[in-house]
Chain A
Amino acid sequence: MKNAVAEMNMSLEADKQISDDLDAVLFGDGSTLDSIGLVNVVMAVEAHVADETGEDMVLASEAAMSRKRSPYRSLRALAEYAVEISGESDAAA
């Protein structure tokens, strides 16, 4: 997660940097990310997860989007969501 954030921050202006605090607001009220920014974070996280674990996963799904507690609210939530669906990816692979 932190690697993905570091990669994102390289191309973001100083006042738009994303915190790599796992519990900071990632997307929603108080976040500097717009919707395209979130897309970029999710893309980067998918690629880093694939590189570090060898597992190709899609972190965007209807189930994820419609949850009451969004998996995109913080890096920790996104990491937990990735762990949660990693078993599903194994089953489908």
Chain B
Amino acid sequence: MTDAKTIAITGTRKGIGLFLAETFLERGWTGGGCSRGAGDLGHPNYSHFELDVSDERAVVKMMQSVRRTHGGLDALLNNAGIASMNHALLTPGATMERVFQTNVFGTFLFCREAAKLMGRKKFGRIVNFATVATPLKLEGEAVYAASKAAVVSLTEVLAREVAEMGITVNAVGPTPVPTDLVGAVPEEKMTALIARQAINRYGTMEDVLNVCDFFLSERSDFVTGQTIYLGGV
């Protein structure tokens, strides 16, 4: 693995975000994370920020604080996300607003503020979070899949806009990983979904970490604008 660096991770209160934060801290990285509520992760090299990722002012303050505390930013993992699983005809507009605010607006604001910090050092790695729900066109996930399609599109265009600043922007598309996000989905639905993958098993947090490690590697400086879906989707 590369030398210790500074990283920002969104959605670190639980699930994959917490796992990623713990992993990078164990490796000696420093940085900040955020969630809407207080975080349990107490580590001397970690600062937690309680914020809504779609709150532009709060995101700017967090990233400036990370810059002051850690002297810059090398990597961003835009993990924070919410899902909505419901038939489209039963989905209120307010749900769509909430999902897009977190998944699309939040991802964009963090990319923008992170790229500003990274651009000053001519180096940066941004990893956004997509989902297999988009290429699998999962029924019941119209809003969630559409929001993550927007994330893929943002990833592809941003990759071109910040390439000459030495910043890469990629996305990882996890299959279902047993976390709260998929907890409410009936078992038979999950089985049917997993049957559509080339490799028929649940994803693990280590699978997600593996792709992040690839994108974050200094050797991946010629890899940008890509989305890697897990499980052979």
Chain B residues with CB below 8 A from A39, complex form: 119
Chain A residues with CB below 8 A from B165, complex form: 36, 40
B57–A44 CB distance below 8 A: no
Interface size range of chain A in the complex: 10 to 19
State whether A50 and B57 are in contact (beta carbons under 8 Å apart), knowing that A36-B164, A36-B165, A43-B119 are contacts in the complex: no
Chain B residues with CB below 8 A from A46, complex form: 116
Q: Whole-angstrom distance between the alpha carbons of A56 and B164 in the complex?
A: 25
A47–B119 CB distance below 8 A: no
Kindly name the residue among B60, B119, B164, B165 whose own CB sees the greatest number of chain A CB atoms within 10 A. Answer: B60
B164–A92 CB distance below 8 A: no
Q: Is the contact region of chain B dominated by helix, strand, or loop, or is it mixed?
A: helix
A93–B116 CB distance below 8 A: no
Q: Is B137 at the interface (CB under 8 A from chain A)?
A: no
Nearest first, the 7 closest Cβ-Cβ pairs linking A and B are A56-B64, A43-B116, A92-B57, A56-B60, A56-B61, A50-B64, A43-B119
Residues of A whose CB lies within 8 Å of any CB of B are: 7, 11, 36, 39-40, 43-44, 46-47, 50-51, 56-58, 89, 92-93
27 A-B contacts (beta carbon < 8 Å) = A7-B120, A11-B122, A36-B164, A36-B165, A39-B119, A40-B119, A40-B165, A43-B116, A43-B119, A43-B120, A44-B120, A46-B116, A47-B64, A47-B67, A47-B116, A47-B117, A47-B120, A50-B67, A50-B68, A56-B60, A56-B61, A56-B64, A57-B60, A58-B56, A58-B60, A89-B57, A92-B57
Residues of B whose CB lies within 8 Å of any CB of A are: 56-57, 60-61, 64, 67-68, 116-117, 119-120, 122, 164-165
